[in-house]
Amino acid sequence: MSWGGIIQAYRDRLPLPEGAKIITLGEGNTPLLAAPRLVTALRGDFDLRLKYEGMNPTASFKDRGMTMAVTHAVAKGAKLVICASTGNTSASASAYAARAGIASAVIIPAGKIALGKLTQALIHGAKLLPISGNFDDALNLIRQMSNLPGVEVVNSINPVRIEGQKTASFEILETLERTPDFHFLPVGNAGNITAYWKGFCEALPQGPRPRMFGWQAAGAAPLVDGHIVKDPQTIATAIRIGNPASGPAALTAIKDSNGRIDKVTDEEILSAYQLLAQTEGIFVEPACAAPVAGLRKAVAAGWIPKGSLVTMTLTGHGLKDPDTALSLFPNAPSAIAPTLEAARKALGL
Ligand code: AN7
C-alpha cells in the first residue's frame, strides 16, 4: 500500500473525531539516516541515526501535528486556523489549510522569520500578521483569540498537535527494531520533545526508553537557565523563544527519562550546521544544528558510552533559511572564462 500520511498509518493510536475527513499531504515516513562520517568528525564511537524531518511536505516536523490539527479543525467546522509562529508552524498551517479549503492567519515576529518560511505562508494564501514583538508575544495574542467564533488554534497548545508529532517516535522504533539509548533534539516551545516522549512511553510501556537530551540556543534557553527569557536572541530563529508553552511537560520528560536539557552558543550551532552538511550531505536549518552541537559537547564530556545507539531529530530543511547559509560565504566566486585552462587553474588541477 502506498504511504497515505501519519493518520492513515497510526489511526488506532491517534484521537480522531467520528467520520472525520482526513486532511493530509502525505507527511511522515521520513528517512532515518546513519551518520558515520559525522560521528568520526565528532570523535565519537557509537551508532548515530538522524531522523530527517526536513523531508516532510512543507519541509519540517510540524506537518505531523498539522495533519491532526487541521483534520480536527475541519471536523469542528472551523473556517479559519490561526497560529503564532517562528516560521515553520505558519508554513505548515497555511499549506494544510489550503489543502482543506479553509483560511489561515499567522502571527509572526516581524523581521525574524526565515525567508523560505515566509515565502511558504505567502504562496499558500495565509493572512500574515507581523507583530512588533517576539514569538512569546505572538503566542500570548493567539491565546486571547482562541475563543473567537469559527477559529481554531493550531499551535502545540492544541493537544492534537502533540498527538501527531508523537508518531515520529513510533517510526524510529519500527525502523530500528530496538530502543535507542539516547534521543537528541532541539527545544524551542518544547512541544516536540513532549511529543517524542509521549510516543516513546506509549510504544514502550514497560521501558526501557531513550534518555531525552534537549538542546536550546544559549541566548534563548529558559529551560536551562530556569527562568523566562524576556528578550531571547539566537541566529536559530525557529527556537528564538523565551517562555515555552510546553516547558513543564518537557522538564518532566527529561526528568523521567534521566535525560538532560542543555544549551549551545550560536557559534557552536553554525559550526555544527556546516559540519553536518559537509560530512553527511544533509542540509538543515540552524535550529536543527543545536542538537548536533550538543552531541559534540556530550561526546567531549564523556556522556555517550562506546557502542551507544543515538537517534537525533533534524527538525527542518536547510532551504528554509538560505540567508543564514549564504552569510557564511561572503565571497561569492567570480566568473571565469569558459575554457579548460581557466577551469584547471580555478580548481588547481
Ligand atoms: C526547525 O514554527 O515554534 O520545541 O512556531 O521550527 O516543539 O517548539 C518552531 C519550532 C525546532 C522547536 N526546530 O520545536 C514555530 C516553532 C525547528 C522549529 C523547533 C522549531 P518545539
Q: How do residues 312-343 score in pLDDT, each as one tens digit?
A: 999 999 999 999 999 999 998 899 999 999 99
Nearest of 176, 194, 168, 174 to residue 48 by alpha carbon:
176
184: Cβ contacts below 8 Å, ≥ 6 apart: 213, 214, 215, 291, 294, 295, 298, 310, 311, 312, 313
How far, rounded to the nearest angstrom, does the alpha carbon of residue 217 sit from its chain's CA centroid?
14
Q: Which atom of ligand 1 is nearest to the CA of 194?
A: 7
Give the other-Cβ count within 10 Å of 69's Cβ. 31
Confidence (pLDDT) at 333: 86
Q: Is the separation of the CB atoms in 189 and 317 below 8 Å?
A: no
186 pocket-lining for ligand 1 (C-beta < 6 Å): yes
Task: Write down all domains in the chain, each with its CATH number in brackets.
Answer: 6-59+161-321 (3.40.50.1100), 62-159 (3.40.50.1100)
- Answer yes or no: is the C-beta of 238 below 6 A from any ligand 1 atom: yes
Kindly give the number of the ligand 1 atom that is closest to the alpha carbon of 186.
11
Q: What percent of the chain has pLDDT over 90?
A: 99
Q: For ligand 1, what atom is nearest to the CA of residue 117?
A: 2
| Residue 346 CA: distances (Å) to CA of 270, 331, 332, 343 | 27, 15, 14, 5
Residue 260 CA to chain centroid, in angstroms? Answer: 18
Q: Which of 85, 88, 153 to mutate to test the pocket of ligand 1 (most atoms within 8 A of CB)?
A: 88
246 has which bridge partners?
A: none
Cell 552569510 locates to 327
All three cell numbers of 179, joined, read 530502543
Q: Give the atom of ligand 1 at the shortest distance from the alpha carbon of 195.
A: 7
Place of cell 498537535: 161
The C-alpha cell that represents 107 in the structure block:
502571527
Confidence check: pLDDT of 276 > 80: yes
Contact (Cβ atoms closer than 8 angstroms) between residue 127 and residue 36 = no
pLDDT band at 194 (very low <50, low <70, confident <90, very high): very high
Q: Which of 265, 262, 214, 215 is nearest to 235 (CA)?
A: 265
Query: Average pLDDT over the chain, rounded to whole?
Result: 97
Q: pLDDT for 117-156, tens place per residue?
A: 999 999 999 999 999 999 999 999 999 999 999 999 999 9
> Closest residue (by CA) to atom 20 of ligand 1?
238
Q: Which of 50, 85, 86, 312 to probe ligand 1 with, by most ligand atoms within 8 A of CB?
A: 86
CB-ligand 1 contact for 191 (6 Å cutoff): yes
Mean pLDDT in residue range 33-59: 98
DSSP letters, 134-148, are -HHHHHHHHHHHTTS
- What residues have CB less than 8 Å from 31, skipping those under 6 apart? 51, 52, 55
Please list, in sequence order, all residues whose beta carbon lies within 8 angstroms of the beta carbon of residue 11, skipping any fewer than 6 positions away: none
Our answer on whether the CB atom of 89 is closer than 6 Å to any ligand 1 atom is yes
User: Closest Cα to atom 16, ligand 1: which residue?
Assistant: 86
Is the pTM for the entire model greater than 0.85?
Answer: yes
Q: Is the CB of 187 under 6 A from ligand 1?
A: yes
Is the CB of residue 88 below 6 angstroms from any atom belonging to ligand 1?
yes
Does residue 164 line the site of ligand 1, with CB under 6 A? Answer: no
- What tens digit of pLDDT does each residue of 72-110 get? 999 999 999 999 999 999 999 999 999 999 999 999 999
CA of 98 to the centre of ligand 1 (A): 21
Looking at residue 332, its pLDDT comes to 82
In contact, 277 and 224? CB cutoff 8 Å: no
| Contact between residue 176 and residue 182 where contact means Cβ atoms under 8 Å apart | no
